[in-house]
Amino acid sequence: MNEMVKILPEAALPEGGARPWTVEAARRWRDARVPLLFAPTVVCWLLVPLVFYGFSLVGSDDPETAASSGTDWVGYHSAILFLALPAWYRYLPAATAVSAPVIALDMAGRLYGPDHVTDEGRAGCWLVIAVCAWTFTGAVLRLRARRRQRALFLEAAGDARSPIPEHLPDGHRHRGRRPILFGGLLTLTGAACLAWALVADLGASAQAPYNAINQQMLSLLLLIPGPPLLGRGLTARRAARRLHDGPQPVLRVGVRGRTSGYTWLVADARTTTAPPLIGFRSRFGDTRRFWSGGGRVLLAGPEDRLRAEHHDIDHTREPYEAVLYGVPCEGAEVLLEYAVHAAPLSGSSTIASELTAAPLLPVRLHRLKPWKPAGTSYSLQRLRQ
């Protein structure tokens, strides 16, 4: 297993260099995120019971007349959008900003329309409107926070730009394919089922109306996860492709891992008070390793000298330095190039570069303990012990 080098050698830096991300600038970047009341993960889990409770209250007010007067399509589109709202808000704030007003307007029409609304139905409508107002506000604030964080990072990076490394991880090149495939399949199947129901309903006579409740329920089950999954895949793929839109801003940052869970970006690998900024999942396919032909040889020489001058660390206990390519914010993807002590080649030790593609997630709870710099090689310490 390769060991992370604490501080990058000069040979690892891109042409023109890369500034360090100062702790003060990183704190401003972190403070630009939305308040906890609108945090995506928190809101998503709070929305699940609220959405199902509101849906049950509004649904209890619907008269069961489909058997005698045909299929009831009133509010069906809002039901799909509302039940998918937790997924929309978690992954696609732009879609939430569009769907939430549509749902709220439909509920307002139900409240003030000519049909009688029971007390339970009225309470359900107001609950749905309140949820829509909450998610719409959060979605708009999140989009604003993303723009603000991009601007702050570009200010910190200055004019430093560099093309991304040539050899990229497989996970980056295939980003979004599975969600696009499965989401598209669910969406197309649900749409086909709806088309079948519409054709059958429109073709039925007034004397023998068609009840498409079974197709409606099947479409509902398919269209709740389908479009959000498809949208998530498309946005993830676009975030990955954005790194190929010319030279990218570069900064030196810190990266700290855990034995399980998320890996975290920190402003600086040297400053012990630098706070964790944003996390990502470190998957095997998202890293291009040196032994797979994806890295550059940075330094070579006697192992004792290399480990003394560029010591390795336990990356779960303290951060290591990396060059960040791209603009970090919630939903973005960045590339992290760092140095490792690779396997010995022809009797000499080697320091090489490795590359990780990091789709950034809006997580906040890090559970990282305070750290102190070891100052010496972690591998040599283990051998002595």
Residue pair 9/338 in contact (Cβ under 8 Å)? The answer is no
Name the nearest CA neighbour of 352 among 291, 275, 273, 281.
291
Q: Which of 240, 273, 304 is at the close of a domain?
A: 240
Examine residue 232 and state whether it is found in any structural domain, yes or no. yes
Q: Which residues of 92-108 are buried (b: 16+ CB within 10 A; e: fewer)?
A: bbbbbbebbeebbebbe
**In a shared domain, residues 302 and 216:** no
* Same-domain check for residues 96 and 235: yes
Write out the residue range of the structural domain in which residue 196 sits. Answer: 37-240
Residues 228 and 178 occupy one common structural domain: yes
Residues 277 and 225 in one domain: no
In this structure, the answer to whether residues 274 and 323 fall within a common structural domain is yes
How many helices and strands in the chain, by DSSP H and E? 13, 11
Same domain, 227 and 311: no
86 and 212 both lie in a single domain? yes
- Tell me the C-alpha distance between 374 and 369, whole Å: 15
Q: How confident is the model at residue 69 (pLDDT cuts 50, 70, 90)?
A: low
Q: Quick one: which of 382, 320, 317, 385 has its CA closest to 351?
A: 320
Domain shared by 216 and 266, yes or no? no
Residue 29 belongs to some domain of the structure: no
CB 138 within 8 A of CB 34: yes
The answer to whether residue 347 is domain-embedded is yes
The average pLDDT across 41-52 equals 95
* pLDDT, mean of residues 98-124: 90
pLDDT for 374: 83
Q: Give the per-residue pLDDT at 67.
A: 46
Q: Are residues 150 and 42 both part of a single domain?
A: yes
**Same domain assignment for residues 272 and 233:** no
| DSSP codes of every residue in 313-379 | --TTTS-EEEEEES--STT-EEEEEEEEEEEEETTEEEEEEEEEEEE-B------PPP-----S-HH
Domain boundary among the residues 186, 216, 240 is at: 240
Report if residue 355 sits inside a domain: yes
Q: How confident is the model at residue 348 (pLDDT cuts 50, 70, 90)?
A: low
End position of a domain, from candidates 181, 210, 240: 240
d(CA 266, CA 277): 6
Query: Residue 64's CB: how many other CB atoms inside 10 A?
Result: 8
Mean predicted confidence (pLDDT) in 112-139: 91
Closest to 57 in 3D by CA, of 21, 7, 107: 107
User: Could you report the per-residue pLDDT of 163-189, keeping only the tens digit for each?
Assistant: 999 889 999 999 999 999 999 999 999
- Determine, yes or no, domain membership for 288: yes
pLDDT band, residue 293 (cuts 50/70/90):
low
Query: In 3D, which of 301, 278, 313 has the Cα closest to residue 153?
Result: 278
| Virtual torsion, Cα 26, 27, 33, 36, nearest 10 deg | 140
Please check whether residue 202 lies inside any domain of the structure. yes
In a domain, 23, yes or no: no
Same domain, 204 and 256: no
Kindly state whether residues 142 and 216 are assigned to the same domain.
yes
Q: Is residue 26 part of a domain?
A: no
Q: How many domains does the chain have?
A: 2
